[in-house]
Amino acid sequence: MATCTYTPWGAAHNVISHIRGVKTVSTSTHGGIMVSQGFANKFFSKAALKVAEMYSGYFCYEEDADWMVPTFELNVQQRRTILTSDKFAQMSDQEVEDYLIEQLSGTNPDYLVERGFEPRGELYEIHKMRIVVDKARLAKDPDLITCPWGDTKTFMHGVNLVTTADHKRHFVTAESYSKQRDADRVDSLFMRLSECDVVVSDIVANSSEIEPLDVRLPKYAVDLANSYLELLKNDPEADKRELAGGFYGFRSRYNGTMETARSEFINQYAAERNVSSSEAIDVFNKCLSDALDNVNTEFHNCRIFADAKPRLNA
């Protein structure tokens, strides 16, 4: 064990020397592999030197991905001094090399090509797709979904809000978004608006197609309760555990979702109507009191309805 030293990632808390000139360092937040100039210039390829960050006479490779470059540069015996986990102990030298190539295909494919190895596997396909996505984002592609939110943004159960690279916002069905997201690990990196069932396109330009917030909210409270009621009926054991206490069951999940919706409603309503947050809260509570008769009684004791009940009983 070496003494504490400084690294590109801060003061090292732990330093392990694997072979002369090659050491692993870790700090409070990060780490990597540091290789002395003498060792690197003698044994490493030019491709490997390009990847490194120079710091205090060392070629430095951070721990998230680049650490595999110096590891790949070492011979099979030297690699074992770094790859000490049980996973690698069970691999043959060739299996270790294949593993490193597959991982580097996703993180450093240009390095592999310069070394004369062909990138391969799913990680390489992911890498290529990320390049496509980055180009689409820079081009402000109107089909590229850059950010999704759940239905607590739309107050329409089963309808999500998405933003596209051209900075427009759209309402799409949650089912169509999830289907695309879960279909393929590579293709799902490029989430396409055209592959979603669009409820309202460009909600700013087409705001007239959207019901007012205080109309949507009561319907949302009822529809959401009905969806959790089905889950509750289909899982009686979870229902018993929640009623016994200490279990985050379907009533609690309904309440938590509605509390998230409350925060979002206050922000949207106050901004849209140019009113105070307290006025927006009053509107929210009135919406819930309007909805309460149609919400199944299983959910009437949820905290979210505490301020709605007095209004209802008044």
Report pLDDT digits (tens) over 44-86. Answer: 999 999 999 999 999 999 999 899 999 999 999 999 999 999 9
The identity of residue 91, as a single letter, is: M
Q: Which of 226, 220, 232, 222 is nearest to 159 (CA)?
A: 220
Measure the CA–CA gap between 71 and 83, rounded to whole angstroms. Answer: 8
Measure the CA–CA gap between 11 and 26, rounded to whole angstroms. Answer: 8
- If one counts every other C-beta atom within 10 angstroms of the C-beta of residue 187, the result is 14
3-state helix, strand, coil in the chain (%, to 5): 55, 15, 30
Region of residue 7 (phi > 0: left; psi between -120 and 50: alpha; otherwise: beta): beta
Residue with tokens 């390829």: 45
Q: Quick one: CA dihedral 46, 51, 56, 58, positive or negative?
A: negative
Per-residue pLDDT at 2 exceeds 70: no
Q: Is 137 helix (H, G, I), strand (E, B) or coil?
A: helix
Residue 185: predicted pLDDT? 84
As given in the structure block, the two tokens for residue 184 are 């393929």
Residue 243: predicted pLDDT? 85
If one compares 6 and 23, the residue with the highest pLDDT of the two is 23
State the pLDDT confidence band at 313, using cuts at 50, 70 and 90.
low
The secondary structure of residue 207, as a DSSP letter, is G
The DSSP secondary structure of 284-312, one letter per residue, reads HHHHHHHHHTTS-GGGTTSGGGTTHHHHH
Residue 144: predicted pLDDT? 98
Per-residue pLDDT at 100 exceeds 90: yes
Contact 13, 28 (CB under 8 A): yes
- If one counts every other C-beta atom within 10 angstroms of the C-beta of residue 235, the result is 14
Per-residue pLDDT at 287 exceeds 60: yes
Contact 104, 111 (CB under 8 A): yes
Per-residue pLDDT at 1 exceeds 80: no
Q: What is the pTM of this model?
A: 0.79
Q: Is 35 helix (H, G, I), strand (E, B) or coil?
A: strand
Q: Which helix (H) or strand (E) holds 215?
A: helix 213-234
Residue with tokens 């979210």: 304
Measure the CA–CA gap between 156 and 208, rounded to whole angstroms. Answer: 16
As given in the structure block, the two tokens for residue 76 are 């099979």
Residues 6+ apart with CB under 8 A from 170: 161, 162, 163, 164, 193, 196, 198, 199, 200, 201, 202, 203
Measure the CA–CA gap between 289 and 254, rounded to whole angstroms. Answer: 16
The identity of residue 293, as a single letter, is: D
Report pLDDT digits (tens) over 106-143. Answer: 999 999 999 999 999 999 999 999 999 999 999 999 99
Report pLDDT digits (tens) over 180-208. Answer: 999 888 989 999 999 999 999 999 999 99
For residue 172, what are the β-bridge partners?
160, 198
What is the chain's length? Answer: 314
Residue 138: predicted pLDDT? 98
Report the chain's mean pLDDT, rounded to a whole number: 94
